Amino acid sequence: MFIRQFRYLVAVAEERHFGRAAQRCNVTQPSLSSAIKQLELELGVPIFLRGRGQRFHGLTAEGERVAVWSRAVLAYCDAMRKEVAMMQKNLTGHLRIGAMPSMSPVLPSLIEAMRNKYPGIHADVQFIGNEAMKLGLDNFALDVAITYLNKADLGRKNTLPIFTERLSLLVPDVPKFQNRETITWKEVAEQPLAMLRPSMHERSFLDQAFKSVGCSPVAQVESESILHLMFQVQFTELCTIIPSHFVHLPGLHRGTRALPIVDPIISQAVGLFWAEGEIVLPMTSAFVSIMRKLCESGELSKRLEVDSPAAYDGPAGKRKRAERV
């Protein structure tokens, strides 16, 4: 068996097309097909379902398992190279992160900490759902994933709690909300709202929060982008619910204010996930180590600290504290 055979097999399984897989591996299609047939002969089982022509018809049951092992073999070979490079203080390659959308403003500082220690690292960030994160970790397509600890359906994975996310209502900076320090969920339900789409996990969590206080508001605008919802608040009369750390990261737009939502105060623990196994891949190990240091030193909490309430005013967009009641 040769490493290239496993690489060809994984390429066909992921591309679901022999021609595209050959292009991806920079070989001719006959060479790719011949290598896979040789692997089938060595294992004594068919890997791909056969049909008319050269079309992809899927993997056999044995082929599915061979594909799983092939991904693991490739991942461990890559890990061996990276561990040797890490021993020489020269870790390079791609750090592949799967994350939920609300982590978008937090990730730059985390990736920066990784790149400061390992300048040769290139980050590849995907904003995806939990099912895609689970698949990515299982298939070694992701090094780490960041999502909610209490709702994650990622199977048995290693976890590291990194911070607790609380919620605030982003409102226009108008007299109606002046002298307000907080706002209740029932009051939030009475506002004209822009919200995430119902299909998103974050929206279902908000719907449950409203249900717990006997409310069911109807959104005036829906989107999958939190940033777009924040622009809705800046330029219209609408309000939207944001993670409280957005007050500092990325910061509020001019003409908006953030009021922590209370009665009840609802929070979710956010954590770092990575695949279980006897060997932790070097890229994963390096990132987890940096995250542990950020958490233990309190540096991450400082970066996410939220002043309550906060606003922006004037052309320079400087943050100001709202007056307390």
What would the pLDDT profile of 224-282 be if each residue is shown by its tens digit?
Answer: 999 999 999 999 999 999 999 999 888 899 999 999 999 999 888 899 999 876 566 78
Judgement on whether residues 130 and 276 belong to the same structural domain of the protein: yes
133 and 244, same structural domain? no
Question: What does the pLDDT read at residue 325?
Answer: 22
Query: 153 lies in which domain range?
Result: 89-163+268-304
Residue 251, helix vs strand vs coil: coil
Same domain, 155 and 282: yes
Are residues 118 and 222 located together in one domain of the fold?
no
Stretch 122-141: mean pLDDT: 89
Q: Which residue has the tokens 């196994």?
A: 277
Residue pair 85/119 in contact (Cβ under 8 Å)? The answer is no
Residue located via tokens 């219209």: 236
Cis before 309? omega within 30: yes
What DSSP string describes 27-77? S-HHHHHHHHHHHHHHHTS--B---STT----B-HHHHHHHHHHHHHHHHH
Q: What is the pLDDT of residue 278?
A: 58
Domain harbouring 238, CATH code: 3.40.190.290
Tens digits of per-residue pLDDT, 8-29? 888 888 888 888 888 888 888 8
| Range 298-315 average pLDDT | 56
Judge whether residue 321 has pLDDT over 50: no
Q: Which two tokens stand for residue 271?
A: 């954590």
pLDDT tens per residue, range 225-236: 999 999 999 999
Verify that 197 and 314 share a domain, yes or no.
Answer: yes
Lowest mean pLDDT among 44-48, 87-91, 142-146, 319-323: 319-323
| Mutual angle of helices 3-15 and 29-43, in 10-degree steps | 110
CATH of the domain at 68: 1.10.10.10
* Residue 311's pLDDT band (cuts 50, 70, 90): very low
**pLDDT at position 324 over 60:** no
Do 55 and 127 belong together in one domain?
Answer: no
- For residue 71, the model assigns a pLDDT of 83
pLDDT, greater one: 272 or 285: 272
Mean pLDDT in residue range 158-172: 93
Mean of all residue pLDDT scores within the chain = 84
pLDDT winner (highest mean) among 54-63, 133-142, 261-270: 261-270
Predicted pLDDT of residue 303: 80
Alpha carbons 115 and 136: distance in angstroms, whole number: 22
| Domain match, 317 and 230 both | yes
In terms of Cα–Cα distance, which of 84, 65, 82, 70 is closest to 3?
A: 70
* Tokens describing residue 88: 């020489």
pLDDT number for residue 166? 92
Query: Could you tell me if 116 and 133 lie in one domain?
Result: yes
pLDDT of 192 above 80: yes
- CATH classification at residue 98: 3.40.190.10
- Do 322 and 257 form a contact (C-beta atoms < 8 A)? yes
Q: Are residues 132 and 176 in the same domain?
A: no
Percent of the chain with pLDDT over 70: 88
Task: With beta carbons less than 8 A apart as the criterion, state whether 196 and 243 touch.
Answer: no
**How many Cα atoms within 13 Å fall on the side-chain side of residue 39?**
23
* Same domain (yes/no): 94, 155: yes
- Residue 116 phi, psi dihedral angles, 5° rounding: -65, -35
